[in-house]
Structure 1
């Protein structure tokens, strides 16, 4: 039994409708992964949140997104890609409204956790719908349009979010998803065709693997976030560490026992380069997540930028990524990814070090723009070549799961950075509202982020081969 051939053409009304649904949906998920950083000081003051509350507001979303994104793709393949995509859109939209209505930081965190589950359903669903719907002659162009428009939504997110926060309230960065979600839902029900994997013999879902992965990440994140307030040696923190380690060990055991039916087939990690590249991903995206978390608060609490100005301040990062990534990807395909994977973190790390100079009433053009521009240039050199290297490290039959796991590793890197850095720099309680205390923590955090970038460069220099092909045996 084979899946019916995809016949949708990009220039047709139905093709444009599918593009509208998929790009707008993924744009919502990408936007909510970045725009919340701009809102942190505002929601912290209104909800009387501690530093830990702000950390969980970011990490609650990243935790469930990272843990369930592979499962979300598998659900669509089996039960219908449009069906699971629509469920994800509805789930994400409802959770967004709950986030906007939250009367306390605990309720906001719970809603953000639910929002991450919705994002894990719709994010892989949007791309799989494109692959399954469009005629092969139009598929590459459709994916290119999806990537470009998703990048635009990510770029517009902090700007739009900052304007909404200043003009109305931080709650509107979540309420905005209600009309967007309704538009996606109408377009999906009207134009997106249903498709699924027609295989009749499929192994059971690796739900145990997904849950254990989430519990492992959650236990470690809880210990890191709560340690400053409760004490590193407190019973609850030590129990969380033990729980996280045990869940991670069980995850490894379950995946090995399931073999090729696992969410993460063990054969992938027989390829040393694949493991190294995912460690590289964790390091680089930890630097990105930590830098954005601290810089957004520093600009508003210490430099006295408005939310809109803060959103605009980091715009060069996204513009450089969107404009330069295709060229970086083409260069990596021609000369191999190694040079870019080494040079990118070095350039980005220099940008992070420059940002340490951001202080009270810092002028944007001299104190902020050079650092964010260099950091954006470094990330531009990394993102597309990293994807090339990851896919080149494994057999073609593993390309989907390898790409999905690398995406999850990027989310996990950001999660761990936001969880660990406040502990490492001594930030806790309401210190994020005190300019002097936060500046000291910010400058120390930027050193850690620069160190993560340097660690990434070292991994690439040591383990990624020169030349157009980066694949190597395990």
Structure 2
């Protein structure tokens, strides 16, 4: 691993690496905005095409499913093919999808556009993990991961606000123009990324890839649709995928990856943290609108400070991980999560200004936790497993968010008369308070798991 670490960083100067990270951060901002902007536009799209709520939901769901699957596929391909070529193909496909979306004249063409966008844009979350891991040494990797996390967080923060302005001033189809800005960055990626191929080029296990995609898609549909049929399909595809992984000569994912105890435990810990963190962008607007009776635009403004501060502090967190170790940053984020969710369990449904302040702790924790776990995970991987290993890291983020969203949605739909926190201060928002109590307990479990992770990794 050490020989590999010294190879790629030496190919670029410090100035070139800095420019590469600025370009990567920019495209991540645009990419993340593209996942959240259309949430604001769904009512207008539904009205124009006379769609039912379930149909409009697929405009978002189809994108997220393909985006999640693509992050793993690109991660695997990055182990055998030039990363700069994959990014070129991905951004080009995303741009073509954006053009189709801008001229979409009916519902099917709009869905096709979103699928094309996701199929291309999903190269970016994989690249956000792979580039810092490949091109930066362990002593500087935290800063690079901090920049990518800042881009992801800022995109989440600014997406709904930009979408509200664009749809108000123009029309929802103009949202497809914004992602086209990424196309301008292709020359920079081709300049700064090298021609390296990390692993030996072997025949792609297309059967294994298909079974993996089918497993992921059926699972996410089972979760999002609460469907027994999709759950059965998931179990069947999962069984077939495990069989293929063990029996194929060159499987799409080598089983040795999951025999790596440090990697598996770190991935599990991150999954819990990603699910917990999803409560911030998911529950906050629902509580602001449903309990505090704020408009969607006002809800976005109350959430913006927390996400913005988290983005500004992301690089600082990366420096902390580089100088004091990943474990220091991870435990700080766990404390911040405890402060955020513990406090929210008291004030849920109360003053939105007070909630806005507390959300700052949560958003900072969310961003820094991803930095700490990505850095920890990268130290558990060999050079041949970097792409697929970090691709699975991003996949887990999407899956954990989907599961968390489903459970939290069901919790909100059930009427709660008793508060799990006897000191809950507001008269309304009991359901939200109860969810925050449970999230606080899960954060304690995360702290225990991460302590176990540290015992299985050589480097903190």
Same fold (TM over 0.5): yes
Deviation of residue 341 (structure 1)?
6.0
Rounded Cα–Cα distance in structure 2 between residues aligned with 1:295 and 1:173: 24
The alignment of Structure 1 onto Structure 2 pairs a total of residues equal to: 439
Give the 5 Å matches for 1:159-174: 159-174=161-176
Which of residues 324, 347, 352 is equivalent to 2:339? 347
Rounded Cα–Cα distance in structure 2 between residues aligned with 1:107 and 1:148: 33
User: Which residue does the alignment assign to 2:202?
Assistant: 203
Which of residues 235, 244, 249 is equivalent to 1:254? 244
User: Which residue does the alignment assign to 1:454?
Assistant: 441
Deviation of residue 414 (structure 1)?
1.7
User: Which residue does the alignment assign to 1:374?
Assistant: 361
SS at match of 1:203: coil
- Conservation of the 8 A alpha-carbon contact between 2:141 and 2:375: no
- Conservation of the 8 A alpha-carbon contact between 1:88 and 1:118: yes
Alignment of 1:66 with 2:75, yes or no, is: no
Alignment of 1:471 with 2:457, yes or no, is: yes
Which of residues 353, 356, 359 is equivalent to 1:365? 353
Deviation of residue 383 (structure 1)?
2.5
User: Measured at CA, do residues 389 and 29 of structure 1 come closer, stay the same or move farther in structure 2, by a change above 3 Å?
Assistant: same
User: Which residue does the alignment assign to 1:416?
Assistant: 403
- Conservation of the 8 A alpha-carbon contact between 2:129 and 2:390: no
Deviates more, 1:84-93 or 1:131-140: 131-140
Alignment of 1:386 with 2:388, yes or no, is: no
Rounded Cα–Cα distance in structure 2 between residues aligned with 1:465 and 1:328: 22
- Normalised by the size of structure 2, how large is the TM-score? 0.76
User: Which residue does the alignment assign to 1:233?
Assistant: none
Alignment of 1:32 with 2:34, yes or no, is: yes
User: Measured at CA, do residues 194 and 276 of structure 1 come closer, stay the same or move farther in structure 2, by a change above 3 Å?
Assistant: closer
Rounded Cα–Cα distance in structure 2 between residues aligned with 1:208 and 1:289: 33
Deviation per residue, 1:51-97 (Å, 9 max, x gap): 54455433322222222213213434544322221110111122234
User: Which residue does the alignment assign to 1:183?
Assistant: 184
Which of residues 254, 267, 270 is equivalent to 1:265? 254
Rounded Cα–Cα distance in structure 2 between residues aligned with 1:303 and 1:168: 29
SS at match of 1:197: coil
Rounded Cα–Cα distance in structure 2 between residues aligned with 1:171 and 1:301: 28
User: Measured at CA, do residues 275 and 73 of structure 1 come closer, stay the same or move farther in structure 2, by a change above 3 Å?
Assistant: closer
Q: CA RMSD in A?
A: 4.3
Rounded Cα–Cα distance in structure 1 between residues aligned with 2:268 and 2:141: 31
SS at match of 1:277: helix
Rounded Cα–Cα distance in structure 1 between residues aligned with 2:439 and 2:234: 23
Q: Which runs of 5+ in 2 are unaligned?
A: 415-427
Deviation of residue 338 (structure 1)?
6.3
Deviation per residue, 1:362-401 (Å, 9 max, x gap): x6423x4134223224325522222243345556764554
- Conservation of the 8 A alpha-carbon contact between 1:62 and 1:116: yes
SS at match of 1:465: helix
User: Which residue does the alignment assign to 2:216?
Assistant: 217
Rounded Cα–Cα distance in structure 2 between residues aligned with 1:74 and 1:87: 15
Deviation of residue 184 (structure 1)?
2.3
- Conservation of the 8 A alpha-carbon contact between 1:37 and 1:293: no
User: Which residue does the alignment assign to 1:85?
Assistant: 87
Rounded Cα–Cα distance in structure 1 between residues aligned with 2:137 and 2:273: 36
Q: Which runs of 5+ in 1 are unaligned?
A: 228-236, 428-440
Deviation per residue, 1:160-193 (Å, 9 max, x gap): 2332233333433332112x0342245556x456
Deviation per residue, 1:174-214 (Å, 9 max, x gap): 32112x0342245556x456513176x43322443443233
- Conservation of the 8 A alpha-carbon contact between 1:88 and 1:119: yes
Alignment of 1:313 with 2:278, yes or no, is: no
User: Which residue does the alignment assign to 2:421?
Assistant: none
